[in-house]
């Protein structure tokens, strides 16, 4: 059995991050997005310091990232959570491990509140959060 590792997301991860994001978009209950943005646009709206990937062996099977909820300084410690998993690995605790590590990372970077917008049909995400 392979061990799940949580690593920092890097530029080389983008192709797999985009593939997993596309699978989430296809469910129509994970995001309002219709298409995966290009890497530059995705990079612009996500914090640079709290980006993670989950690996099983050489395969990326999930990712998590934070976005600032506002540019106002009073919200500097508030971020929105995005967690996506490869549907092939659903139900294996990948999201839970990503969220736990994301909480640790967020606290290390001065985030005091995490929030998530979740569609009511997305029972997996509701259960996770």
Residue range 95-117, pLDDT digits in tens = 999 999 999 999 999 999 999 99
Do 46 and 79 contact (CB within 8 A), yes or no? no
Q: Using 50, 70 and 90 to split pLDDT, how confident is the model at 1?
A: low
The CA distance from 42 to 44, in Å, is: 5
Which domains does the chain possess?
4-119 (3.40.630.30)
Exposure letters 16-53 (e unless 16+ CB within 10 A, then b):
bbbebbebbbeeeebbeeeebeeeeebeeebbeebbbb
The CA distance from 92 to 121, in Å, is: 20
Q: Which helix or strand (DSSP H or E) is residue 43 part of?
A: helix 39-45
**Res 126 pLDDT > 80:** yes
Do 114 and 106 contact (CB within 8 A), yes or no? yes
Residue range 57-91, pLDDT digits in tens = 999 999 999 999 999 999 999 999 999 999 999 99
Residue range 5-45, pLDDT digits in tens = 999 999 999 999 999 999 999 999 888 889 999 999 999 99
Which of 30-39's residues contact partners 24+ apart within 8 Å by CB, and which partners? 30/84, 30/119, 30/122, 30/125, 39/11, 39/14
What is the distance, to the nearest Å, from the Cα of residue 37 to the centroid of all Cα atoms in its chain? Answer: 15
């Amino acid at each position: 059995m392979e061990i799940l590792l949580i690593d920092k997301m890097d530029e080389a991860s983008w192709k797999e991050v985009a593939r997993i994001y596309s699978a989430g978009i296809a469910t129509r209950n994970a995001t309002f997005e219709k298409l995966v943005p290009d890497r530059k646009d995705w990079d612009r709206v996500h914090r640079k310091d709290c980006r993670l990937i989950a690996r099983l062996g050489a395969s990326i099977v999930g990712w998590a990232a934070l976005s600032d909820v506002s540019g106002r300084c009073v919200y500097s410690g508030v971020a929105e959570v995005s967690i996506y998993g490869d549907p092939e690995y659903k139900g294996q605790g990948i999201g839970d491990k990503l969220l736990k590590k994301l909480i640790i990372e967020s606290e290390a970077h001065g985030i005091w509140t995490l929030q998530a917008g979740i569609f009511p049909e997305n029972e997996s995400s509701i259960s996770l959060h």
